[in-house]
Amino acid sequence: MSRSTCDLPTAGYAIVVDGRIKTEFTTKEGAQTGARDLKRRFPMLQVKVYDAEARSDEEVLLA
């Protein structure tokens, strides 16, 4: 299943939960903090931080 590129932000960072963009941020630190908090509260979710400039994402894991 492919996602259309119009869903992805073109600048900044976003939290991706189970394959869907949920919240956009201007800073990487803000996105990572929000993603870690979400993952702590709901560990069963797949949470990633998407970097629009690099067009890549990284999964958030509990330590």
- For the residues of 16-37, what is the DSSP string, one character each? EETTEEEEEESSHHHHHHHHHH
Residue 63 has pLDDT above 90, yes or no: no
DSSP class of 60: -
> What pLDDT does 6 receive?
56
Residue 62 has pLDDT above 60, yes or no: yes
Q: Are 52 and 13 in contact (CB under 8 A)?
A: yes
Greatest Cα pair distance, the chain, in angstroms, is 33
> What pLDDT does 7 receive?
77
User: Who has greater pLDDT, 57 or 1?
Assistant: 57
> What pLDDT does 47 receive?
97
Q: What distance in Å separates the CA atoms of residue 27 and residue 42, rounded to the nearest whole number?
A: 23
**What confidence tens digit (pLDDT) does each residue in 1-54 have?**
445 555 788 899 999 999 999 999 999 999 999 999 999 999 999 999 999 999
